[in-house]
Structure formats: C-alpha cells, structure tokens
Amino acid sequence: MGGFLAALWDIFSSPTMYGSAVRLGGFLAFAALGELVAEKAGTINISVEGSLLAGAFTGTVAFDMTNSTVLGLLAGIAGGLIVALIQANMSHRLTADQFVVGLTANVLVLGLAGFLNGILDPMARRAAVIEIPLLSDIPLIGPALFGQTWPTYLLYPLIPLTWWLLYRTRWGLEVRAVGENPQAADVSGIDVNKRRRQAICYGGVLAGIGGAFLVLGQVGTFDTGAVGGRGFIAIAAVYFGGWRLGGVLLGSFLFGLADAFRLALPVLGYQLNAQLLAALPYVLTLVVMYAITKQFRQPAALSRPFIRGLR
C-alpha cells in the first residue's frame, strides 16, 4: 500500500503530468467552449468531432504551404467553420435530424481527411514554446500554465470572450432564450433557427482552432486518428460542467488529466496495461455521464428542433 501511494505521489507531483494535462485539457476546452454556446441555444453539435479533425487537417495543409503557424490556425478556423455550416444549415434550415447530420459529417470528414492526407502528405511542426516571465516560475503549475507553446495562450482570452458573449450581450441573451423556450423567443421576434445556426458556427470556429492547435501547438504532425473521439469527450465536458462555463473548464481539465495520466506513467517508469490506460478517458466519460448529469438542469429545449407554430 505504501508503494502504491508513493507511486501516486510521484505521478501527481510531476510537472510533466500537469503540463500534459493543460495541453490535452486545453485542446478539449477549445471544443467544449464552443459546444457550450451551441447547447445553450438548444442544439447538440455532434459534428464537433468533424470540426476538430477538419481544423487539424486544414491547419496542417496551410502550414505546409506557407510555413506560418498563424495562417495554419486561420485555416483551421475555416475548416471547422465549414463543417459547422453543414451541420447548422442541414439541421436548422432544412430541418434534417441533427444527430444524423452530425454523425454523417464526422464520417465524411474522416474519409476526406484520410484520402487527401494520402495525396498531399502535408508536413507540420510544433510551434515555439514561450515562457511568461515570473508566472512560469511558480512551482508545479507555473510551467504547465505559462510555459506552453504560444497557440495554447489563445485559450485564455477565449474564456472571458465566451462568457461575455453569453452573459453580457443581447446576442447571448437571445441564444439562451432560444435554448430555454424557443416558442416564446419566436413570439418576441427572435429568429430561433438563425440564432441556433450562429451558435453552432461559433462552436465550429472554436473547434477549428482546437484542431489546428492539436497539430501546431501540441503534436507537430497530422494523423486522422489524432482526434480519436475527443469531440464526444468535449460534449461530455459540457454535461459534466452542468452547462456552466467554470464547470465546463473543470471538466475539460479533468478529462485532460486522465489522458495525461496515461501518458505520464511510462515516462516516469511505471507500467500498466496499455489498453486499460487508453480507455481511461472514455471510461471516465461514461462514469460522468451517469453520475453527474442528472444533478444539473439542462437547457429546456436542448436537442428539440424548432418549427414555427408547433410545440
């Protein structure tokens, strides 16, 4: 027992562990922040997985063509937004089933990315690490939060920006209104499906940044399996957080910590079943979905399509 506790202390006191948790959790947070806005509007954007993968691929291609991380991130935004536009218009203009559209978009992006990656074989590399003076010297958490590749720091202004959009603007008020009572919002003059499309597009933009960050700010190379279902974990992080910004960030970090735990064990010299470790973030997702979600009230009209005149 003493050896087990000593091993846990060794793992959870390692700066490497927390650095990986911030990188992996940050990747999830990009997508989860956008998903929070989409779900506040009453939609579940299943295509967030496709937006992440599209952002990763287009960001890699743009970097390969220009050797610019900035242009790679902008291309990632475009890739994520294209997938979101497909989801938004099919679900909330043509009234197709949002779950079917999302799953189809995910499969389509996976196939296209794999096909085009084989043809183009784009190359990328990880962005430079920038350490913020003084803050990066804080023991344990300093290097994790303030000694990362520079695309990681894009997340920090996006957090207050998302809060401000949702809770301090008329647009955010209307987004929350269409997620709670779309019929009443419609009567008051709000274009319900337009707001839902806009919320999904915002989620696509953030997921696109997240996908490009995965390649250019984290791993330095593109692979179609790199996203690996983490778009669905980002959706779970929104449920974990009870549709609250702080909770969503906490959920993203905890899921990132579970993933970092898997990576940290071999580095620190500990051995555990590799398949079990790989499944750990997804097992945690299932446990959270079962144990946490019933304790919070979701947006009343979540996943319910809106057709004017129907209740």
pLDDT reported for residue 30: 97
Buried b (16+ CB within 10 A) or exposed e, 118-147: eeeebebeebeeeeeeeebeeeeebbbbbb
Count of domains forming the chain: 1
Q: Average pLDDT of 197-209? A: 97
pLDDT reported for residue 120: 93
In a domain, 247, yes or no: no
In a domain, 193, yes or no: yes
Determine the structural domain holding residue 107 and report its residue range. Answer: 33-227
Is it the case that residue 206 has pLDDT exceeding 70? Answer: yes
Supply the mean pLDDT for the chain.
Answer: 87
Is it the case that residue 298 has pLDDT exceeding 90? Answer: no
Which of left, alpha, beta for 308 (phi over 0: left; psi -120 to 50: alpha)?
Answer: beta
Residue of 3 and 43 predicted with greater confidence: 43
Is it the case that residue 173 has pLDDT exceeding 90? Answer: yes
In a domain, 292, yes or no: no
pLDDT reported for residue 134: 86
pLDDT reported for residue 270: 62
pTM of the complete model = 0.91
pLDDT reported for residue 71: 97
In a domain, 238, yes or no: no
In a domain, 12, yes or no: no
Q: Give the Å distances, CA to CA, from 216 to 22, 56, 64, 180.
A: 15, 8, 11, 38
Q: Average pLDDT of 107-119? A: 95
pLDDT reported for residue 79: 97
In a domain, 280, yes or no: no
In a domain, 269, yes or no: no
In a domain, 180, yes or no: yes
pLDDT for 230-258, tens place per residue?
999 899 889 888 899 998 998 898 888 88
